[in-house]
Amino acid sequence: MKHHIAELASDELLALVRGGTLDDSRILDVLRSPYCTAQIAELVASNREYLGTQAIRERLAGFPGLSNAQAMNLLGSLPWAALIAVARTPKTPALVRRQAERKLIHQVPTMTLGEKIAMARRAHRALFPALIAGGDDKVLTALLDNPALVENDLVVLLNTGKPPIEFMSVLARHHRWGECYGVRKAIVACPLSPLPLALSVLVQLPKSDQKRIAERENVPAQVRSAAAALWGRAKADNLSRTETSCGASPGTTAESDKIHRW
């Protein structure tokens, strides 16, 4: 029957649903069909017998063209994992996606630690700040392992957000992001970075970056001072090496005197 439903045109699917003899698995097949229309989805959503199945409610909530009222009612009945699925589905209408994200953000503070960890592994960009704000090491570690997280997300957060101190420490120790060059620079420049952490990363940056950090006004004064000192020391070392390489090497003057006497 699944193969048969996949071959039906829109008018045939509509007639099939109107017949009212389909079980839940066949209704899902109808909703998955590329020929399923918003009219058919509305018809399914209006039948209470079909709405007892979470998979059907999830599919309907993000269905393009479904009325906003129906979609919002369906979102209210979905658990967090289904809400993430709706929010991450490319075809979900923007209004429905934003509402699903708002519901998820609102739920985060009341979720168990296990739920937060599971969400952190599956979340997308809109949910990152809410998960980071909790400051739990296990949640933060799970989030940093999330494949949807990219370097720019972290750099933007460090440059413009308010990451908790706990997050900075977990980030710096992370097996992947702790070695990421762009993230390390952002940790040093972030006003909320603990000073010992910022300084420990600063000394490992190239001298050119230390010079730039020393000149940035939005970097904490103590970090700028340390960067300026490192840059000044590097300049002095370079000058000393240059003078040594350009001047006479030890013993050259004595050898010259011998030649002159001969």
Q: Is the pLDDT of residue 239 over 70?
A: no
- Are 149 and 143 within 8 A, CB to CB? yes
Residue 143's alpha-carbon distances to 5, 87, 128, 148, 166, in angstroms, are 40, 17, 8, 9, 13
Using CA atoms, how far apart are residues 211 and 232, in angstroms rounded to an integer? Answer: 9
Q: Give residue-wise pLDDT tens across range 44-102.
A: 999 998 999 999 999 999 999 999 999 999 999 999 999 999 999 999 999 999 999 99
Using CA atoms, how far apart are residues 174 and 168, in angstroms rounded to an integer? Answer: 10
- Are 190 and 168 within 8 A, CB to CB? yes
Q: Is the pLDDT of residue 256 over 50?
A: no
pTM: 0.77
Domain ranges of the chain: 1-77, 172-243
Q: Is the pLDDT of residue 222 over 50?
A: yes
Which pairs with CB-CB distance under 8 Å and at least 24 residues apart come from 189-194? 189/158, 189/159, 189/213, 189/216, 189/218, 189/219, 189/223, 190/158, 190/159, 190/163, 191/218, 191/219, 191/220, 192/162, 192/163, 192/165, 192/168, 193/158, 193/168, 193/220, 193/223, 194/165, 194/168, 194/169
Q: Give residue-wise pLDDT tens across range 3-58.
A: 588 889 999 999 999 987 889 999 999 999 999 999 999 999 999 989 999 999 99
* 156-179: average pLDDT: 89
